[in-house]
Structure 1
Amino acid sequence: MNTKVREVTVIYYHEASLELQHQIATFPENDQGRVVISSEFRQGKSIVAVCDGQVDILNKIGDRILSIDYVA
């Protein structure tokens, strides 16, 4: 049995933080082509999106808010 895998970028919130985070990982695909994310990876996270391939995130929500607070 040859298991297909796919590289994805997972965008999520961690339960201990309101900061939007992301991680690039490889997960197996099911017969319908959907990525199967392990329960170990999902633990403690609220997944917002799963993107195909490696995504370069230039700005996340909250990035600009933090930079405005530090402008004197």
Structure 2
Amino acid sequence: MQPEVNQVTVFYYDSDELLTLKTALLSDLNVSNDRVILPQGFRHDKIIVAVCEGEVKVLNALGDRVDQEPARLQFA
């Protein structure tokens, strides 16, 4: 029997929405040669960036502040 990983957080880009980094929490996955085996149905149309052990909470990511007003610089 192959070992299992209780939970992993997967960071990925959807092929339909390449500008938004997404995450998914997956449970009870098999491990082979120290690599987590993601289900083929999950991997379809995704670019997998990272697989992290456990539940990961993203606090900030690239592009989070794109919609905010730019900072105003003042020079003396």
| TM-score in terms of structure 2 length | 0.76
2:38 alignment partner in structure 1 = 37
Q: How many aligned residue pairs are there?
A: 67
Cα distance between partner residues in 2 of 1:67 and 1:5:
42
Q: Name the larger-Rg structure.
A: 2
Residue 13 to residue 33, structure 1, CA distance change in 2 (3 Å): same
Cα distance between partner residues in 1 of 2:69 and 2:52:
29
Higher percent of residues as helix = 1
| TM-score in terms of structure 1 length | 0.80
| Post-superposition CA distance 1:2-58 (Å, at most 9, x none) | x4221111000001112110011022112x231001111100100111111111100
Cα distance between partner residues in 2 of 1:33 and 1:68:
44
Could you list the structure 1 runs, at least 4 aligned residues long, displaced by more than 3 angstroms after superposition.
none
Alignment partner of 2:9: what SS?
strand
1:60 alignment partner in structure 2 = 61
Higher percent of residues as strand = 2
Cα distance between partner residues in 2 of 1:37 and 1:59:
25
Identity %: 37
Give the aligned CA root-mean-square deviation in angstroms: 1.5
1:25 alignment partner in structure 2 = 26
Is 1:9 matched up with 2:17? no
Cα distance between partner residues in 2 of 1:19 and 1:12:
9
